[in-house]
Amino acid sequence: MTLERTPVTIVGAGPAGLLLSHLLAESGIESIVLDLRSRDEIEQTIRAGILEQGTVELLDGIPGSRARTVGHRHDGIELRFAGEGHRIDFPGLVGRSVWLYPQHEVLKDLIAARLAAGQDLRFGATVERVEDAGTTSPRVIGRHDDGTAFEIVSDFVVGADGSRSVVRPTVTGSSTGGYFREYPFAWFGILCEAPPSSEELIYSNSPEGFALISQRSETVQRMYFQCDPDTDVDAMSEADLWETLQARVPGTDLAEGPIFQRDVLRFRSFVAHELRHGRAALVGDAAHTVPPTGAKGMNLAIADVVLLHRALDALLRHADERALDAYAETALRRIWKAQHFSWWMTSLLHLSPEASDFDRLRQLGELRSVVESEAGQRYLAEAYTGWPLETGAHG
Ligand code: PHB
Is the Cβ–Cβ distance between 337 and 383 less than 8 Å?
yes
State the average pLDDT over residues 120-131: 98
Q: Looking at residue 45, what is its pLDDT? A: 84
How many angstroms separate the alpha carbon of residue 45 from the centre of ligand 1? 15
203 Cα nearest atom in ligand 1: 10
Rounded-to-integer distance, Cα 64 and Cα 79, Å: 34
Q: Is residue 394 scored above 70 in pLDDT?
A: no
- Is residue 375 included in any domain, yes or no? no
Please report the sign of the dihedral spanned by the C-alpha atoms of residue 19, residue 23, residue 28, residue 31. Answer: negative
- Is residue 62 included in any domain, yes or no? yes
- Is residue 77 included in any domain, yes or no? no
Domain count, the chain: 1
Of 224, 343, 345, the one to substitute when testing ligand 1's pocket (max ligand atoms within 8 A of C-beta) is 224
State the average pLDDT over residues 92-119: 97
Q: Is residue 12 scored above 90 in pLDDT?
A: yes
Burial of 86 (0-12, 13-18, 19+ CB in 10 A): middle
Residue 17 Cα to chain centre, angstroms: 13
Under DSSP, is residue 69 helix (H, G, I), strand (E, B) or coil? Answer: coil
390 pLDDT tier (thresholds 50, 70, 90) = confident
Nearest to 138 by CA among 150, 149, 130: 130
Say how many Å lie between the first and final Cα of the chain, rounded: 43
Under DSSP, is residue 223 helix (H, G, I), strand (E, B) or coil? Answer: strand
Q: Is residue 286 scored above 70 in pLDDT?
A: yes
Under DSSP, is residue 102 helix (H, G, I), strand (E, B) or coil? Answer: coil
Q: Looking at residue 367, what is its pLDDT? A: 98
State the average pLDDT over residues 273-301: 97
Rounded-to-integer distance, Cα 31 and Cα 200, Å: 39
Q: Looking at residue 9, what is its pLDDT? A: 98
How many angstroms separate the alpha carbon of residue 237 from the centre of ligand 1? 23
393 pLDDT tier (thresholds 50, 70, 90) = very low
1 pLDDT tier (thresholds 50, 70, 90) = confident
- Is residue 155 included in any domain, yes or no? yes
Rounded-to-integer distance, Cα 158 and Cα 329, Å: 17
2 pLDDT tier (thresholds 50, 70, 90) = confident
Is the Cβ–Cβ distance between 312 and 24 less than 8 Å?
yes
Of 103, 188, 212, the one to substitute when testing ligand 1's pocket (max ligand atoms within 8 A of C-beta) is 212
Lowest-confidence pick of 133-137, 176-180, 232-236, 242-246: 176-180
- Is residue 92 included in any domain, yes or no? no
Is the Cβ–Cβ distance between 138 and 121 less than 8 Å?
no
Q: Is 269 in the pocket of ligand 1 (CB under 6 A)?
A: no
State the average pLDDT over residues 236-248: 98
Q: What share of the chain is helix, strand, coil (3-state, %, to 5)?
A: 35, 30, 35
Rounded-to-integer distance, Cα 68 and Cα 304, Å: 22
The domain of 128 spans: 2-71+100-180+269-351
135 pLDDT tier (thresholds 50, 70, 90) = very high
- Read off the pLDDT of residues 321-333 as tens digits, 9 standing for 90 and up: 999 999 999 999 9
Q: Looking at residue 392, what is its pLDDT? A: 45
Helix axes 357-371, 374-385, angle to 10 degrees: 90
Residue nearest atom 7 in ligand 1 by C-alpha distance = 295
189 Cα nearest atom in ligand 1: 3
Higher local confidence (pLDDT), 166 or 395? 166
State the average pLDDT over residues 273-278: 97
Rounded-to-integer distance, Cα 203 and Cα 77, Å: 8
Q: Is residue 395 scored above 50 in pLDDT?
A: no
Q: Looking at residue 177, what is its pLDDT? A: 83
70 pLDDT tier (thresholds 50, 70, 90) = very high
> Strand pairing partners for 125?
144
Q: Where are the alpha helices (DSSP H) in the chain?
A: 15-26, 39-44, 53-59, 90-94, 103-116, 168-172, 238-248, 297-318, 322-349, 357-371, 374-385
- Average pLDDT score, the chain: 96
Quickly count: other Cβ atoms within 10 Å of residue 227's Cβ: 19
Rounded-to-integer distance, Cα 309 and Cα 7, Å: 13
Quickly count: other Cβ atoms within 10 Å of residue 253's Cβ: 8
Q: Looking at residue 277, what is its pLDDT? A: 97
Q: Looking at residue 115, what is its pLDDT? A: 98
| Element of type H or E holding 364 | helix 357-371
Q: Is residue 182 scored above 50 in pLDDT?
A: yes
Is the Cβ–Cβ distance between 371 and 348 less than 8 Å?
no
- Is residue 388 included in any domain, yes or no? no
- Is residue 392 included in any domain, yes or no? no
- Read off the pLDDT of residues 196-217 as tens digits, 9 standing for 90 and up: 999 999 999 999 999 999 999 9
- Read off the pLDDT of residues 363-381 as tens digits, 9 standing for 90 and up: 999 999 999 999 999 999 9
Nearest to 293 by CA among 162, 383, 164: 383
Q: Is residue 113 scored above 60 in pLDDT?
A: yes
Higher local confidence (pLDDT), 382 or 176? 382
- Read off the pLDDT of residues 183-197 as tens digits, 9 standing for 90 and up: 999 999 999 999 999
What CATH number is attached to the domain comprising 280? 3.50.50.60
- Is residue 225 included in any domain, yes or no? no
How many angstroms separate the alpha carbon of residue 115 from the centre of ligand 1? 29
How many angstroms separate the alpha carbon of residue 373 from the centre of ligand 1? 24
State the average pLDDT over residues 221-239: 97
